Amino acid sequence: MPLALALIWLAARMPRRRRGWASGLCIALAAIALLATLPAFSKIVSWPLRTLVPNWELSGRLFVGAIVVPTGGSFSDSTGRRWPSRETVRRAVLGSELAKETGLPLALSGGSPEELPYSEAVLVADLLGLDRDSLLLDATARNTHENALAFARLLTPLGVRRVVLVTDGIHMVRMAASLRAAGFDVYGHTLGLGLDEPIRAKDFIPSNGGLGYTHAVASGYAGNLYYLAKGRFSVAELFGSDTRHGQDAPGR
């Protein structure tokens, strides 16, 4: 908001002989800066990232073979002890609840992006008191691509080809495309927070939260473009039009 006001002030204070394209540029940049602070704007432009993966609930809970949960970070407290991030805990809680409700196996994947001697998946499993022996646990994956490969190692020997992915809405499409590239058909189950919430009147008020949403959306689009450029998944896998992997048998 301060940046938008500063640009408008600059455009108004320009000498008459310099007005024209420069003033118009300032006004355009001010408009962009203002939009970036509106949660409603981020929710609208993030819509493709949040809707490319079919929702498992809305699809009638079709037969799947497993629940898969990639972790979402960790942090160290003042004593140096490592803890799973809020995003990791939320994903693992929802995934474990779905696994208990449905009787489906739960696959949890996450190592350390910094290659430190800990595993995000192990941290959150221990924090929530999950039985490691009953989990399909990967403690090595450092990013979304490696998460997908880890799930393939864990689930392909079991004949699982269709999964329910539990993660944040912005991360959903990149993780789903990576899973498709690894041989899975994917349905999504989001946390229903933040950008996944319905647009409300307050979302048209500039806020720091809106700016944070804009950063998350920009990172989401950038991540997908980066994975496409690296060949980690195809355009067809990104848009979910490649569904050649078949389906799991009922009751799996």
Superfamily per CATH, domain 39-239: HUPs (3.40.50.620)
What's residue 16's pLDDT? Answer: 53
Residue spans per domain, the chain: 2-36, 39-239
Closest CA to 209 of 31, 39, 5: 39
Which residues are paired to 181 by β-bridges?
none
What's residue 27's pLDDT? Answer: 55
Q: Tokens standing for 53? A: 């993966």
CA 156 from centroid of its chain's CA atoms = 23
Task: Compute the residue count for the chain.
Answer: 252
What's residue 206's pLDDT? Answer: 85
Closest CA to 148 of 131, 127, 128, 163: 163
> Are the C-beta atoms of residues 102 and 67 closer than 8 Å to each other?
yes
Residue 247, number of CB atoms within 10 A of its CB: 14
Task: Establish how many alpha carbons lie within 13 A of residue 96's alpha carbon, considering only the half-sphere containing its beta carbon.
Answer: 21
Which pLDDT tens digit goes with each residue over 6-42? 433 334 444 555 555 455 544 565 666 777 788 998 9
Alpha-carbon span 62 to 162, nearest angstrom: 9
- H helices of the chain, in order, are 2-13, 21-36, 39-45, 47-51, 86-102, 120-127, 144-155, 169-181, 208-230, 235-239
Which pLDDT tens digit goes with each residue over 203-245? 998 888 888 888 899 999 999 999 999 999 999 999 986 555 5
What does 5-58 look like in DSSP terms, one character per residue?
A: HHHHHHHHHS-GGG-SHHHHHHHHHHHHHHHHT-HHHHHHHTHHHHHSS-BTTT
- Look at residue 107 and tell me whether its pLDDT is greater than 90: yes
Alpha carbon distances (Å) from 133 to 12, 122, 123, 129, 244: 67, 12, 15, 12, 32
What's the whole-model pTM score? 0.84
